[in-house]
Amino acid sequence: MKRMLSACLMLVCGLVLAASSSTSPVLPNASPHQSVGTVNCASSTCHGAVAPWTGSNVQQNEYTTWLRLDKHAKAYAVLLNAQSRSIAAKLGLKQGAENAQECLDCHAHNPAPSLRGERHMISDGVGCEACHGPADKWIRSHTVPGATHADNVAKGMYPTEKPVEQAKLCLSCHVGDSSRFVSHRLMGAGHPRLSFELDTFAQLAPAHYKIDDDWRQRKGDYDSVRLWAIGQALASKNQLDALTDPKRGRDGLFPELALFDCHACHHPMSEKKWTPRLGVGPGRMRLNDSNLLMLRAIVRATDPAGANAFSDQVTQLHHAVAGNNASGMAGRSADPLVLASALSATIQRVIVKLEQQRFTPAVQRAVLAGLIDEAKRQQYSDYAGAEQAYMAISSLSSSLAKQGALTNVAEMNRKLAALRVSLANEDAFKPDVFANGLQGLSRTISPQAN
Query: DSSP string of 119-178?
Result: T--GGG-S-HHHHH---TTTTTTTTSTT--HHHHHHTT---TTSHHHHHHHHHIIIII-S
Instruction: Supply the pLDDT for residue 367.
Output: 96
| Distance between CA atoms of residues 183 and 96, nearest Å | 18
Residues 391, 275 within the same domain: yes
Domain boundary among 158, 187, 219: 158
Omega of the bond prior to 206 within 30 degrees of 0, cis? yes
The beta strand positions in 300-339, using DSSP E, are none
> How much is the pLDDT for 266?
82
Answer whether residue 149 is part of any domain: no
Ranges in the chain, pLDDT < 70: 1-22, 272-274, 281, 325-333, 446-450
Whether residue 244 is found in the same domain as residue 371: yes
Q: What is the pLDDT of residue 302?
A: 97
Domain boundary among 158, 189, 213: 158
Output the pLDDT for position 274: 66
**pLDDT for residue 56:** 85
Query: Residues 306, 314: contact at Cβ < 8 Å?
Result: no
Domain shared by 263 and 123, yes or no: no
Write down which residue in 158, 186, 212 finishes a domain: 158
> What was the pLDDT predicted at 327?
43
pLDDT of residue 214: 85
For the entire predicted model, the pTM comes to 0.89
With the CA atoms of 117, 123, 129 and 132 taken in that order, what torsion angle do they form, in degrees rounded to the nearest 10?
180
> Where is 251: in which H helix or E strand?
strand 250-251
Amino acid at 208: H
* 8: in domain: no
Same domain flag for 409 and 273: yes
Dmax (CA) for the chain in angstroms is 69
Structural domain count, the chain: 2
Q: Does residue 296 fall inside a structural domain?
A: yes
**What is the spatial distance between Cα 261 and Cα 22, in angstroms, rounded to a whole number?**
35
335 lies in a domain? yes
- Cα separation, 175 vs 239, whole angstroms: 8
Contacts of 116 (CB under 8 A, 6+ apart): 34, 35
Whole-Å CA distances, 437 to 194, 203, 421: 25, 25, 10
Say what the pLDDT of residue 368 is: 93
Domain membership of residue 208 (yes or no) is no
Pair (238, 353) in one structural domain: yes
Count of residues making up the chain: 450
pLDDT, residue 2, reads 41
Q: What is the pLDDT of residue 210?
A: 85
Report the CATH number at residue 46.
1.10.1130.10
Which helix (H) or strand (E) segment is 255 a member of?
strand 254-255
Indicate whether 235 belongs to any domain. Answer: yes
Range of the domain at 78: 32-141+154-158
Residue type present at position 410 = A
Q: Based on the domain organization, do 135 and 235 belong to the same domain?
A: no
DSSP code of residue 35: B
pLDDT value for 13: 38
CA distances from 138 to 33, 35, 110, 132, 395 (A): 10, 11, 19, 11, 35
Asked whether residue 177 is domain-assigned, the answer is no
Query: 76-113 as b/e, with b when 16 or more CB fall inside 10 Å?
Result: beebeeeebbebbeebebeeebbebebbbbbbbbbbee
Q: Would you say residue 381 lies in a domain?
A: yes
